Structures are given as C-alpha cells and as structure tokens.
Amino acid sequence: MHEKNARTLALLIRLCDDLAWGRPADEDALFALTREGSSSPDLERLAEAFGMMIVKVEAREFHRAELLEKVEVGKGYQVTVHVKLTYKQFLKLSQTSKNDEIPLTNATDENVA
C-alpha cells in the first residue's frame, strides 16, 4: 500500500475508533480526508461516508436533546424516560411509516407520563 494511503487509513481507523467509543474526534481532520487528491478515491469516499455518519449522529443527538428531559437506568436495567412533549405530541411522533425501524407500541397514559 502506498505510504500516503497507509497513513490515511491509520488516521481513519483512529478517528472512527474515537467516534465509536464516544471520544472527541478531530472532525476537521476527517473532513480534510474527503478532499480530492488527499488519498486514493476509495479512502476519500470512505472518509466521506464516515463524515456523513457523524452529521447524522449529531443531528439525532440534537433532536434527542430537544425531546428528552432525562433518561434514568435503574436496577435490572429498567429504563425510565422523561420527555419534553405532551401526550398528543408523543402520539403524533409515534405514528410509524413503513420506513421506521423501531415502531413505538403500547403507548398509554400509564407508560407515557
């Protein structure tokens, strides 16, 4: 493997490892790898794909922060979620389409407080 490509691949691995473990990653370095001529076209495309994943994850985190007040994990990993929306808003959000991955079910006044 060409030395430049080997360095690029090592950097991609380090950045992706940081992202996967929730550590701060040098996003500028990642996006710099997407520039034409920064390495092989395949590695540039791979860097671009990881960059898009970062954007999507950050968008989800922002959206979640806007919707969730707090999440508590109790004994036996029992999860309690406190939301920042009304029951009516929750029901509207819980309507699924065929593209939804995880449909919300059993939404009642008791379990959506």
Residue 18's Cβ-count burial label (10 Å; 0-12, 13-18, 19+) is middle
**CA neighbor of 84 nearest in space, from 70, 96, 95:** 70
Question: What is the rounded CA–CA span in Å between residue 83 and residue 85?
Answer: 6
Tens digits of pLDDT across the chain (113 residues): 588 889 889 999 998 888 888 888 788 888 888 889 888 999 999 988 888 888 887 777 777 777 778 888 888 778 887 878 777 877 777 775 555 544 444 444 454 44
